[in-house]
Copies of this chain bind each other. A is one copy, B any other.
Amino acid sequence: QEISDTKFGKGMFNFTAKDSSFSVNFAPRIQFRSMTTWNYDGENFGNPEQNFLIRRARLKFKGFAYSPKLQYKIELGLSNRDISGANQFTGNAPRFILDAVVMWNFYENFELWVGQTKLPGNIERVISSGNLEFIDRSILNSHFNLDRDVGFQLRHLIHWGGDFYTREKFAFSQGEGRNITTGNLGGFEYTGRLELLPFGEFEHGGDYSSADLVREETPKLMMGFTYDFNDNAVKTRGNQGSYMFLSNNDLYQTDITTTFLDAMFKYEGFSLMTEYAHRNAKEPVAMQQGESTPTGDIVLEGNAFNIQAGYVFPSNYQIAARYTENSYANVTGEADRNEYTLGLSKYIVGHKLKVQTDFNYDTLGGIQDEISWRLGFDLHF
Interface residues, chain A, with chain B CB atoms under 8 Å away = 1-10, 12-19, 21-22, 24, 28, 30, 32, 35, 49-54, 57, 61, 65-66, 70, 72, 74, 76, 78-81, 83-86, 90-97, 100, 102, 114-116, 150-151, 173-174, 179-184, 188, 348-349, 353, 377, 379, 381
Smallest Cβ distance from A177 to chain B, in angstroms? 11
The answer on a CB contact under 8 Å between B65 and A353 is: yes
In the assembled complex, the Cα of A77 lies from the Cα of B53 at a distance in Å of 18
In the complex, 14 of the A-B residue pairs with CB atoms within 8 angstroms, ordered by the A residue number, are: A1-B5, A1-B16, A2-B15, A5-B18, A6-B17, A30-B100, A32-B102, A52-B184, A53-B180, A54-B100, A78-B96, A78-B97, A86-B92, A114-B377
Smallest Cβ distance from A93 to chain B, in angstroms? 4
Residues of chain B within 8 A (CB-CB) of A184 are 49-52
In the assembled complex, the Cα of A356 lies from the Cα of B79 at a distance in Å of 33
User: Given B6, B10, B72, B93, which contacts A94 in the complex, CB threshold below 8 Å?
Assistant: B93
> Assembly of this chain: how many copies?
3
**Contact of A74 with B102 at beta-carbon distance under 8 Å, contacts A80-B90, A95-B80, A150-B52 already known:** no
Q: Which residue of B lies closest to A10 (CB)?
A: B1
The answer on a CB contact under 8 Å between A80 and B93 is: yes
In the assembled complex, the Cα of A102 lies from the Cα of B381 at a distance in Å of 13
In the assembled complex, the Cα of A189 lies from the Cα of B284 at a distance in Å of 47
Q: Which residue of B lies closest to A7 (CB)?
A: B21
Smallest Cβ distance from A84 to chain B, in angstroms? 3
In the assembled complex, the Cα of A86 lies from the Cα of B16 at a distance in Å of 39
Residues of chain B within 8 A (CB-CB) of A50 are 174, 183-184, 188
**Contact of A94 with B100 at beta-carbon distance under 8 Å, contacts A2-B6, A4-B18, A50-B174 already known:** no
In the assembled complex, the Cα of A179 lies from the Cα of B51 at a distance in Å of 11
Q: Which residue of B lies closest to A150 (CB)?
A: B52
The answer on a CB contact under 8 Å between A179 and B4 is: no
The answer on a CB contact under 8 Å between B379 and A65 is: yes
Smallest Cβ distance from A265 to chain B, in angstroms? 30
Residues of chain B within 8 A (CB-CB) of A115 are 30, 32, 54
The answer on a CB contact under 8 Å between B348 and A379 is: no
The answer on a CB contact under 8 Å between B150 and A181 is: no
In the assembled complex, the Cα of A72 lies from the Cα of B101 at a distance in Å of 29
Smallest Cβ distance from A168 to chain B, in angstroms? 22
